[in-house]
């Protein structure tokens, strides 16, 4: 009797050891990826369920149950980091979870955060200062850099999507530019397909230009759609956009932090006080919300807005109402 019981316990322990061994092999063996590299994005606020669905969609996970259990058992289910990721070599489920929750793998990933509203000049300084990147763009002109990443636009400004990107140590900075450019193109194309059919904008690039202006003019995120409405209404009515950020951009290094009346009358291709229509290029890197605001601006007749001093803006339909708002919020009368 005792020997039979010992045999049963031995069998159970053996089965348990085998099960743990199989589970360990499942979690720590490399995933069966159909191709490499694989790029994928995790949107801000994504749940574990949404994240695993995305990983299945792009062909990284063939099943979600074990990955979900691992994430919950390790306490990482609520630590998923949004961003733009690139898999360039085989990876296990365990290391994949580390990548998207801790921002690290055995590749020693570099985290690169591109902020909405910065300029291409700012971005180039940012990447040039990262010692873990290989600086293959050093010495390249802007035109040469665009050619190397396959961009066809006339200027680099605005072409790189603001997001958090992860790259292996030693990656080329050209790979960063290329991924940010391709990500921008995907988002821009999707938004363009969903645009208001009555928009006066003739192309996705024109939408990108206006989105960059909205990005620079917005103090409060919720104001983006109405700011877009104002500028679109002005374009329809053949009014000058009269927006300070374009003037400042056109001044380049000559801008000292103070915008004077003479600056508003000095003609440059970017002076929207002296010229009609859009400037020739974007003036910054617009984020997704500004792009969407331009594509699907709410209906309205607003033609003016003024900063209220708390980050938000007051919108007006007539010049008389606008002047009253200026006196109220700017001149404090």
What CATH number is attached to the domain comprising 54?
Answer: 3.30.1490.480
End-of-domain residue from the set 72, 107, 142: 107
Report the candidate in 74, 151, 86, 159 with the shortest Cα–Cα distance to residue 118.
159
pTM: 0.80
pLDDT at 101: 82
Q: Examine residue 295 and state whether it is found in any structural domain, yes or no.
A: yes
The gap between the terminal CA atoms of the chain, to the nearest Å, is: 99
Q: What is the mean pLDDT of residues 46-56?
A: 86
End-of-domain residue from the set 75, 107, 139: 107
pLDDT for residue 276 is more than 50: yes
Q: What is the mean pLDDT of residues 113-122?
A: 96
Q: Examine residue 33 and state whether it is found in any structural domain, yes or no.
A: yes
Q: Tell me how many domains the chain contains.
A: 2
| 207 and 319 inside one domain | yes
Q: Examine residue 63 and state whether it is found in any structural domain, yes or no.
A: yes
184 and 161 Cβ atoms separated by less than 8 Å? yes
Domain ranges, residue 309: 200-329
Q: Examine residue 50 and state whether it is found in any structural domain, yes or no.
A: yes
Binning pLDDT at 50, 70 and 90, where does residue 257 land?
A: confident
Helix H or strand E encompassing 270: none
Q: Examine residue 237 and state whether it is found in any structural domain, yes or no.
A: yes
Higher-confidence residue of 71 and 186: namely 186
Report the candidate in 289, 255, 260 with the shortest Cα–Cα distance to residue 273.
260
End-of-domain residue from the set 81, 107, 133: 107
Q: Examine residue 309 and state whether it is found in any structural domain, yes or no.
A: yes
Q: Examine residue 276 and state whether it is found in any structural domain, yes or no.
A: yes
pLDDT at 20: 43
pLDDT at 303: 94
Q: Examine residue 210 and state whether it is found in any structural domain, yes or no.
A: yes
pLDDT at 52: 86
CB neighbours of residue 315 within 10 Å? 20
pLDDT at 26: 53
pLDDT for residue 232 is more than 60: yes
Binning pLDDT at 50, 70 and 90, where does residue 263 land?
A: very high
> For residues 331 and 333, what is the distance between their CA atoms, to the nearest angstrom?
6
Least trusted range by pLDDT, from 27-36, 73-82, 255-264 = 27-36
| 316 and 214 inside one domain | yes
Distances (CA, A) of 53 to 22, 49, 59, 67: 24, 6, 10, 11
45 and 5 Cβ atoms separated by less than 8 Å? no
| 100 and 204 inside one domain | no
């Amino acid at each position: 009797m005792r020997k039979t019981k010992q045999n049963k316990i031995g069998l159970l322990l053996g089965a348990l050891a085998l099960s743990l061994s199989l589970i360990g092999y499942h979690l720590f063996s490399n995933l069966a990826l159909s191709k490499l590299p694989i790029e994928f994005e995790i949107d801000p606020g994504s749940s574990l369920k949404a994240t695993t669905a995305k990983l299945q969609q792009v062909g990284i996970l063939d099943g979600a149950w074990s990955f979900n259990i691992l994430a919950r058992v390790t306490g990482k289910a609520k630590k998923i980091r949004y961003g733009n990721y690139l898999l360039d070599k085989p990876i296990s489920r365990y290391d994949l979870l580390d990548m998207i929750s801790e921002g690290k793998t055995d590749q020693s990933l570099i985290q690169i955060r591109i902020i909405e509203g910065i300029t291409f000049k700012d971005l180039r300084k940012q990447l040039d200062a990262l010692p873990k990147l290989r600086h293959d763009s050093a010495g390249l002109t802007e035109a040469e850099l665009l050619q190397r990443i396959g961009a066809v636009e006339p200027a680099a400004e605005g072409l790189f999507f603001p997001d958090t990107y992860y790259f292996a140590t030693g990656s080329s900075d050209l790979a960063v530019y290329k991924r940010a450019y391709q990500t921008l193109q995907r988002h821009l194309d999707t938004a363009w397909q969903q645009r208001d059919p009555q928009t006066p904008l003739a192309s996705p690039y024109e939408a990108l230009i206006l989105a960059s202006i909205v990005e620079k003019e917005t103090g409060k995120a919720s104001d983006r759609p109405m700011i877009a409405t104002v500028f679109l209404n002005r374009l329809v009515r053949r009014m000058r956009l009269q927006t300070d950020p374009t003037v400042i951009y056109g001044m380049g290094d000559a801008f000292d932090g103070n915008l004077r009346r003479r600056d508003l009358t000095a003609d440059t291709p970017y002076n929207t006080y002296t010229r009609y229509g859009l400037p020739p290029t974007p003036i910054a890197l617009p984020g997704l919300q500004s792009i969407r605001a331009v594509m699907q601006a709410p209906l309205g007749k607003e033609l003016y807005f003024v900063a209220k001093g708390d980050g938000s803006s007051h919108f007006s339909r007539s010049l008389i109402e606008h002047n009253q708002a200026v006196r109220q919020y700017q001149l404090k009368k």
